[in-house]
A and B are shown apart, each in its own frame.
Chain A
Amino acid sequence: MIVCAACNHRNPSDALVCEACGGSLEHFVYRACPSCGALNPAENVFCHRCFDDLVPGSAETIVEASDIPVESFVPSEPSVTDREEAVREAAAPTVGERPTSDLTLEADAEVATTAEVVSEETEPGPLAEPQQLVGEPIERLEAAPSEPEAPMQPSELIPEAEEDVLEGLEGLVPIAAAATQAHAFALPVPPSVSETEQHDAELFHSIASERGPLRDAARVVIPRRARLLSRRGRALLYLLVLLAALTPVFTGDRTSLLLRPRDSVTSLARDIQSLPTGSAVLISFDYGPAYAGEVDPLALAVGRHLAASQVRVVAMSTDPGGVGLAEHLYRTIAGEMPDYRYGESYAILGYLPGPEAGLRTLCTSLGKAFKVDYVQRRTLSELPVMKDLTSVQDFDQVIVFADDSRSVRSWIEQVQSQCNFSLHALVTAAIEPMLLPYQQSGQLSTLIAAAHSAGEYEKASGMEEPSLHWTDAYGAFCLVLLVTAIATNVAYLRTRARQRSHGQ
């Protein structure tokens, strides 16, 4: 498996180009270990962490683990004296003929200095680890490049029995054969590194040492699961969504008998019904066209109810797209009711910039927030509908249609906390849970998720029920979602049970 460095996509081992992003995999690619997930350079055959084979089948050609006899190994704990002796022996070659007992500290310092000099000369970059050189015999480091022509025989490379740290380990891990190969001593030869290779190495090191998504993702080896359905399954799902959208064509108004308005919807309808003729309601359309499909039916139902109750309506928006939606909706209502005229029955003030600061202005003066109205470009005092309405406190009710909880919170924190009035929030189903604390604290008089409330509102207000068609489509989509989730999980559990029964 090759992980693309650009997008983290896991590609097949023989891929030359990333399946996901199309990027070349010839450079900067890493093989994810199928066992532990560690990232290895592309040329690695074995995993540097768990020594598993990265290229399936390659391990058998190099060493057969079954051919190596397994011997019992009883580790012996070295004493403190043994450890001190081992340290002295390791430091001895670096100080020449002088006695090691007198120069242990001096030797350590000299070795460290020499290692630093070596690391500076070779400029190994971030991949090199100078601390690994500390304690290595300097003669070994210096002599190795001068004798590359005479490779040592494997028998010569095997250390004496009493010095062999691997004694007793043969057969436990399949590295004995590889460890005795002559090429192991080619490592001290400083390689000639080109600038490109140096750059590649630094890049690899920076990516490999970073605790980013690539490294984390590489630790998780996700096995490919069997498909529950073919690709046609997804097409079938999309077809079901389309059929859900067309449900009203088949159902008509028959589902209206099943609809029962919730208490919150009934309460709002009752509040609006109780408003006397000539009362004023401020409506803020704080949502954009993206959520118009969800909120528009309820906004239309409430708007129709207010118009039928002969309540003055002043509309505004803190969303640039909301003004157009308000204009669109009230054009529809005015088209249905000939006596419902702009300027006399309703007005659209426009877009109010500056979310918090703009709303705060409403407490002091509407005229400062909106110099002219949106449609006729007249000052607010010239509009008959704005009679006796100078600030937000002069309105009997304030209704906010919103698709963003921050908008409703701004209304509560910046306006309602300063000017006491009844605030109703009719919002998308997605943000309803975020506003529940404000409803429970009493700061919101009403909180309604607009998803399927339009039909309920029309039923509660005793008006015509044109939104029920939309409600049917919404209900059908919920059913599709339910059936999909349940059916997929039933199929998934059955597949898993079958795999377990087959011992997979």
Chain B
Amino acid sequence: MKKILPMAAAILCGLFVLTDFFVPHPSIGAVAAVLVEGATILAAFALFLGVVNLLSVHGRRVAREARGRGLGVVLIASLLATLAIGVALPGSAALNWVFDYVYYPLQATMAALLAFFVVSAAYRAFRVRTAQAAIMLVSSLLVIATQLPFGQAISPYLPIARDWILTVPVTAGMRGIVLGTALGTMATALRILLTVDRPYV
């Protein structure tokens, strides 16, 4: 019974949601909507579990006075402060201040460092050591050149070359990846529906 009940629930839920895609019947749609809403609630609860786990891990680190406990203290304090402001004063100026002056600048700064990494990579690693590297270099330079806001003013052929690279070789590769992903998803779904895979048990 311990195994049969979860398996039956998984098959029924999966079949209802799947049927709703192909059979637009109101009764099936209503049941599927309840199930999907439940999945959304579960996803939200997963966030809560993530917070509890984070507090647990860093709390233990602080309690044991392990290495990096100072960072753990900062993390827990920041998390609790932001959580308190967000729950008590949602959409308030205080929460906006935290976002505008702490969260936004920190993430933007980390991403901005990418510019230095990219230039450093172009300097250190982007070399024509082999024929394949030469092809990649020429393609990359072409695409970068077409990314110039005024690339069209430099040469009218640059956008044409970029479009060809993106729509023919790149799209061909991406189509293959997308089709492979779709086939993999179908196989996984079938394995779960047929209880070959039971990740929920």
Contact = CB atoms under 8 A, between A and B. Distances in A.
B30 to A, nearest CB: 9
B123 A233 contact: yes
B167 A290 contact: no
A369 B40 contact: yes
Instruction: Give the interface SS of chain A, mostly helix, strand, loop or mixed.
Output: helix
A485 B174 contact: no
Given A377-B91, A478-B147, A485 B140 contact: yes
Interface in B27-67: 29, 33, 36-37, 39-40, 42-44, 47
A449 to B, nearest CB: 8
Nearest to A479: B148
A360 interface: yes
A290 B106 CA distance: 8
A290 B126 CA distance: 25
A286 interface: no
Contact of A482 (B141, B152, B159): B141
A262 B149 contact: no
A474 B146 CA distance: 12
Nearest to A228: B123
A328 B122 contact: no
A365 B166 CA distance: 38
Contacts of A288: 107
Given A293-B112, A489-B127, A324 B104 contact: yes
A477 B177 CA distance: 31
B108 A289 contact: yes
Interface in A306-328: 321, 324-325, 327-328
Contact of A321 (B103, B122, B144, B153): B103
A353 B43 contact: yes
A324 B96 contact: yes
A355 B175 CA distance: 23
Given A260-B152, A436-B166, A482-B144, A357 B39 contact: yes
A418 B18 CA distance: 12
B99 interface: yes
B145 interface: yes
A269 B109 CA distance: 31
A314 B141 CA distance: 40
A434 interface: yes
Interface string B71-92: 0000000000000000000110
A185 interface: no
Contacts of A241: 115-116, 119
Given A234-B123, A433-B171, A364 B33 contact: yes
A481 interface: yes
B108 A357 contact: no
Contacts of B167: 436, 440
Interface residues of A, number: 70
Interface in A323-371: 324-325, 327-328, 331, 352-355, 357-358, 360-361, 364-365, 368-369
Interface residues of B, number: 54
B197 interface: no
A482 B37 contact: no
Interface in B149-183: 149-150, 152-153, 159, 166-167, 170-171, 174-175, 177-178
Interface string A241-270: 100000000000001001110100000000
Nearest to A449: B147
A237 B126 CA distance: 14
B201 interface: no
A472 B36 CA distance: 46
Contact of A488 (B39, B40, B123): B123
A321 to B, nearest CB: 7
B145 to A, nearest CB: 6
B171 A361 contact: no
A456 B149 CA distance: 8
A31 interface: no
Contacts of A260: 152-153
B122 A484 contact: yes
Ranked nearest first, the 3 interchain pairs of A and B with the lowest CB-CB distance are A354-B43, A258-B150, A357-B39
Given A255-B149, A368-B33, 17 more contacts: A238-B119, A324-B99, A324-B100, A331-B96, A353-B40, A354-B44, A358-B43, A360-B36, A361-B36, A433-B166, A433-B174, A436-B170, A478-B144, A486-B141, A489-B137, A492-B127, A492-B128
Interface of B: 21, 29, 33, 36-37, 39-40, 42-44, 47, 90-91, 96, 99-100, 103-104, 106-108, 110-112, 115-116, 118-120, 122-123, 126-128, 137, 140-141, 144-145, 147-150, 152-153, 159, 166-167, 170-171, 174-175, 177-178
20 contacts: A290-B108, A290-B111, A293-B111, A327-B96, A354-B39, A354-B40, A354-B42, A354-B44, A357-B37, A368-B37, A433-B171, A437-B178, A452-B148, A472-B149, A475-B149, A481-B119, A484-B123, A485-B122, A485-B141, A485-B144
Interface of A: 229, 233-234, 237-238, 240-241, 255, 258-260, 262, 288-293, 321, 324-325, 327-328, 331, 352-355, 357-358, 360-361, 364-365, 368-369, 374-377, 417-418, 429, 432-434, 436-437, 440, 451-452, 455-456, 471-472, 474-475, 477-482, 484-486, 488-489, 492-493
